């Protein structure tokens, strides 16, 4: 993802800056998704694993990136509190 674009992006819910989700966080989240333990902000299940994602600075919400395009919709955001072993900041 382009660094200039990333510097402009913020979480639509909390207005916090967004950072690329690290490998450990992505693996932890995808494991929970594979077990059917992850729902989006609108209550629908996240069924597909994520290849790339952005996370808020406090690491409480994740937004997927589809084909290089961030999906910054509150209803599509994923709360990391539902992932038991999600790495802390």
| pLDDT tens readout for residues 31-63 | 999 999 999 999 999 999 999 999 999 999 999
Q: How confident is the model at residue 5 (pLDDT cuts 50, 70, 90)?
A: confident
**Count: domains in the chain:** 1
Instruction: Give, for 69, the enclosing helix (H) or strand (E).
Output: strand 69-70
Residue 87 lies in a domain: no
Residue 60 lies in a domain: yes
What is the greatest pairwise CA distance in the chain? 35
Residue 32 lies in a domain: yes
pLDDT for residue 67 is more than 80 = yes
Residue 34 lies in a domain: yes
Residue pointed to by tokens 């994923």:
78
Instruction: Give, for 66, the enclosing helix (H) or strand (E).
Output: strand 61-66
Structural domain containing residue 54: 3-82
State if pTM tops 0.85: yes
Residue 63 lies in a domain: yes
Residue 9 lies in a domain: yes
Residue 30 lies in a domain: yes
Task: Give the angle 54-88-82 at the CA atoms, nearest 5°.
Answer: 75
Residue 22 lies in a domain: yes
């Amino acid at each position: 993802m382009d660094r200039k674009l990333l510097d402009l992006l913020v979480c639509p819910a909390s207005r916090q800056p967004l950072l690329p989700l690290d490998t450990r966080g992505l693996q932890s989240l995808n494991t929970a998704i594979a077990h059917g333990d992850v729902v989006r902000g609108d209550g629908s299940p996240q069924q597909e694993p994520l290849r790339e994602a952005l996370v808020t600075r406090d690491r409480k919400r994740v937004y997927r990136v589809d084909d290089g395009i961030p999906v910054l919709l509150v209803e599509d955001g994923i709360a990391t509190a539902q992932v038991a072993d999600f790495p802390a900041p």
